[in-house]
Amino acid sequence: MREMTLTDLDRLSAATVEVEKTLEMDEDAFRVFYDRTARPLWAYLSRIVGPAHPVEDLLQETYYRFLRSGAVHESDDHRRRYLFRIATNLAHDAYRRRRPAVDPAQMNRATDPGDPGSAGEADRAARRVDLSRALAKLKPRQRELLWLAYAQGSSHEEIAQILGLKTGSIKLLLFRARRRLALLLGEPNKVGQ
Amino acid sequence: MKECSREDEVLDMLQSGGRRGMEMALVEHLESCQNCAELARVVRAFRQDCEQARDNARIPSAGVVWWRASIRARADATRVVDQPMTIAQAVSAVAVVALGSALAGLAWESFPPLPPLPISLLLVLAIAVCLLVAPLALVLALVRE
């Protein structure tokens, strides 16, 4: 290993200063923010991209881009919506790179609860599998709309900011997506085909 | 199927669990409204799936995510810090080649006149000199100590 020169030391020192200046928040603030957002973000990514994509990589990339963004946030909610906006854009990049057919069988394995103990649990497990199969049949945008609205309880305004759409168009898009999903959920024999 | 005017009420109830009195009235509405019944079915399915997804999420610890981001940010910053130096070295190399060519041109004029050569041959010679000298100059400029 070669010895470090003064030039190398200056370069590393400059790099450290650059890192401190370019990250969005300090480590303590990040930990608090991460603890509040990581699970919802994981759930969102795993359901909209499906098991064909490595969700952990997308999660890491999302937080990295958020930390490096340098964006100014009005509130914590605004910060959170910005995080999900980054995640959505990364999910779209992942679709374009791989373009896998979202295999209902894969979605089924991803949500397979194993051996349910009681009849109630079996019923819930069956409904989860049906939902996954139905989601696999939808377009990515429809999955995003439905998840944000009904799983996360986001308002139309929040959904519009996350997905980069006009607020006025969310209601109609959501209605159509929901109708399509309801039709798929109502056809258990056809969904898995 | 058309939207129902009470859809927002139904959605609020499903997502937050409203007051009992209101809930009973809406429950009766759900039995008669196909649109809201469909909404209820979809929302319940999503909320159950969301709960399961969050419980089963295999997220790395905040410390690991922070550490990876810091390492990568440092690597990116190092590339940014080095970039001006690399560009300066390349510009210097090109300047050296251009200056050498200009001096060679001036020196050429001091030689006694030679029989005229075809322009195409001159161009070929000039291009050959540049192709030989320029990469060598760049390599010498970019080699680190």
Contact A91, A49 (CB under 8 A): yes
Residue A144 has pLDDT above 80, yes or no: yes
- At B112 the pLDDT is 67
Question: What is the per-residue pLDDT across A50-90, written as a single tens digit (0 to 9) for each?
Answer: 877 789 999 999 999 999 988 778 888 999 999 999 999 99
- pLDDT band of B101, cuts 50, 70, 90: confident
* Model confidence, pTM: 0.69
Count contacts between A and B (CB, < 8 Å). 123
Please give the residue that has the higher pLDDT: either B129 or B41. B41
Check: CB of residue A130 under 8 Å from CB of residue A188: yes
CA A193, chain centre distance (Å): 26
Residues of chain B with a CB closer than 8 angstroms to some CB in chain A: 1, 3, 15-16, 38-39, 41-43, 45-50, 52-54, 57-60, 62-63, 65-66, 68-70, 72-74, 76-78, 80-82, 145
Residue type at A94?
Answer: A
Question: CA–CA separation, A66 vs A23, rounded Å?
Answer: 9
Give the integer Cα–Cα distance in Å for A34 and A20.
19
Question: Within an 8 Å CB–CB cutoff, is residue A4 touching chain B?
Answer: no
